[in-house]
Amino acid sequence: MCGRKRFLSALFSLLFLIPSSVTGQNPVSFLADSVSYLWPTDASRQLSSTFAETRSAHLHAGIDIRTWGREGYKVFATRSGYVYRIGMSPRGYGNVVYMRHPDGSFSVYAHLNRFEPRLQAFADSIRLIDFTADLDIHPDSSQFTYSQGDVIAFTGSTGVGPPHLHFELRDPDYNPFNPLLTNLGIRDRIPPVFTHLAIEHLDNKTLRRTGHDIITGTRSGRNHQFGEITLQGPAGLAVSLYDQADGSPNRYSVYSLALVHETDTLFHAVKDHFSYREARHMFLDRSYQLLAQTRRAYQRLYRVEGNHLPFYRSVKNEGVINFEPGTYNLEIVATDIYGNSKTAFITVHVENNKRHGSEITYVPAYPLPEHHQSSTIPLNPFRWSDYRSDHNHHYLVSAENHTIPFVKIYRPFYQPTTYRVEKILEPGKKYSIHSADRKLWLTVPENALFDSLELHLEIEINDDEIYIHFDPDRLPIQQPIDFNYILPDHMKYNQKLALFSHDKYRNRTFFLGAVNQDGLIRGRLSEISSLKIMQDGVAPWAGTPRIEKNLNEKYIVVVPARDQQTGIDYRRSVITVNGQRGIIEYDPEKNFLIFYHPEFKPKSSNRVSMEIFDGVGNLNRREVTVSY
């Protein structure tokens, strides 16, 4: 393990001429030389994902191990220790075990089908108290201890994704680091592969992003050629690429990226570790605008404001291309953790760059609105206030943390044509944003924004829908923004209204939640995205139940169930079999509700009673007889 650490440090210091003092703290320096990890499963030695890959809301904090589309492989304690925490949920990590080791570090095993029998019985005993499927508990440190190699669980597909084992290592401060920095490893002799290059154009004065171009390029021998581009001002590059390993069809994130001009390293990033406080900074390390538009992860070769990830070993002018007029040959060097490397070449012609020569220490995270300085629409319908002033009115109503899952809806949208307000918001301040009639409130927490933001807002009210449009749209934030809206009189008693986020690039909506109390609809926004308030009046669909055994040889009742608009509310749904109530588990990807009780034994004829709710409370109530 230590030999690999010294090799990697030497490799990158020599390759990019970076002094060791600049490369940052070694993320595994806390490990004793005698520490050795055990591969955590007998499923395979192949990965489906690597450390720090792009995910929907954060950086990937571990590695994913392939299980060949099957469940039930053994999961081993990678080191001796005790169970620090267990969780069960149909979302996120699904069924998960956190172990703590003698040096204070942690290992995490997620998306499990079930725990080992003693630990599973403990989890079930807690869930049966009130028949709640979800669980998040820290057992006593002496309650469940395991030696290295003991079976602690079995692989599954709970939470997000197909069957696989998600495995993490965390340091004593609970921050994830790359497991491949230890003695754990895979066979990899294949270099990374480039696919696309994006040029993100920056405003000459403000350096705010103004647009982009995308280049595919061609392979050139063992490397890649992106050809020639012409720039009229400063720009940042972002690259789409992937890594591979021997014998695996999966595509991985690339460990190290560098942008080099001759002997000058303009940018160099290495993905060794990060803090969970910075996990959402992925949206700045990647280009969020390109991710939203193309669904492709473009990793930036420059750094924007608010990005505090510890990846960056060398950054000159924040990585921005800010040359004086002329022609420059650049190289993008991509290297995996085993030293396999590939280089992409690009020739840059710079014309009329009025900013060249000036040092760049700040690149804004957020773009300007599309309608910047072009609007003739009155700005009077909305008011904005800082919390440090205007305490004369009670603006805000607390918003709940809605956890009912997103459901995609395909439907056309109209373009709002009403009033616009514009305001520059600054990070580090807490804002209340409200309409002149005080019908709408947005609460922006102090640490919600990555950077200063000029934001435009429009609202349109129709007979049965309300559309709220933000410009710029689809922006990442660090903390949720509370949304509150007092409904018009003709809508205030409609309990079937829900709040949806609108993806303008794909013309889809995503369910955010539904809390309509006395005509006030509330929600939480995890990004700045245009919204729609509309009705879901259709009850969820439920299919014919079936009785089967799970991988633990326990009888369960599986009920197909789905809802196209606001999703299944599994927490509220109730299923009884022969008068016996059970825990209601949910698989949102397979669209199954699962009746589970560890003592359930079916009869030849079984009466199944179901009350299945969707996100706004529409109910499907059924009783059926199921033979077994």
Q: Could you tell me the CA-to-CA distances from 11 to 51, 148, 243, 263, 337 in Å, in that order?
A: 20, 32, 19, 16, 11
Percentage above 70 pLDDT, the chain: 88
Mean pLDDT of 126-133: 96
Burial class (CB in 10 A: 0-12, 13-18, 19+), 535: middle
341-350 vs 223-231, strand pairing mode: parallel
State the DSSP code for 276.
G
pLDDT at 334 over 70: yes
Model confidence at 276, in pLDDT bands (50, 70, 90)? confident
pLDDT at 5 over 80: no
| Continuous segment of H or E residues that includes residue 476 | strand 475-486
Q: Could you tell me the CA-to-CA distances from 436 to 380, 439, 506, 533 in Å, in that order?
A: 8, 8, 32, 20
Torsion of CA 610, 616, 617, 618, to 10 degrees: -70
pTM of the complete model beyond 0.75: yes
Model confidence at 480, in pLDDT bands (50, 70, 90)? very high
Q: What is the pLDDT of residues 55-98, one digit of tens each?
A: 888 899 999 999 999 999 999 999 999 999 999 999 999 999 99
pLDDT at 416 over 80: no
Mean model confidence pLDDT for the chain: 87
pLDDT at 37 over 80: yes
- Cβ atoms 430, 386 nearer than 8 A: yes
Between 386 and 317, the higher pLDDT residue:
317
Domains (range + CATH), the chain: 35-181 (2.70.70.10), 193-350 (2.60.40), 382-535 (2.60.220.30), 541-627 (2.60.40.1220)
Other Cβ atoms closer than 10 A to 563:
25
**Closest by alpha carbon to 461, among 491, 499, 433, 434?**
491
- Cβ atoms 152, 55 nearer than 8 A: no
pLDDT at 19 over 60: no
Residues 6+ apart with CB under 8 A from 521: 484, 485, 487, 497, 499, 514, 515, 533
Q: Tell me what pLDDT residue 25 has.
A: 67
Specify which residues 555 forms β-bridges with. 549
- Cβ atoms 155, 73 nearer than 8 A: yes
Q: Tell me what pLDDT residue 439 has.
A: 87
State the DSSP code for 117.
H
Mean pLDDT of 484-500: 92
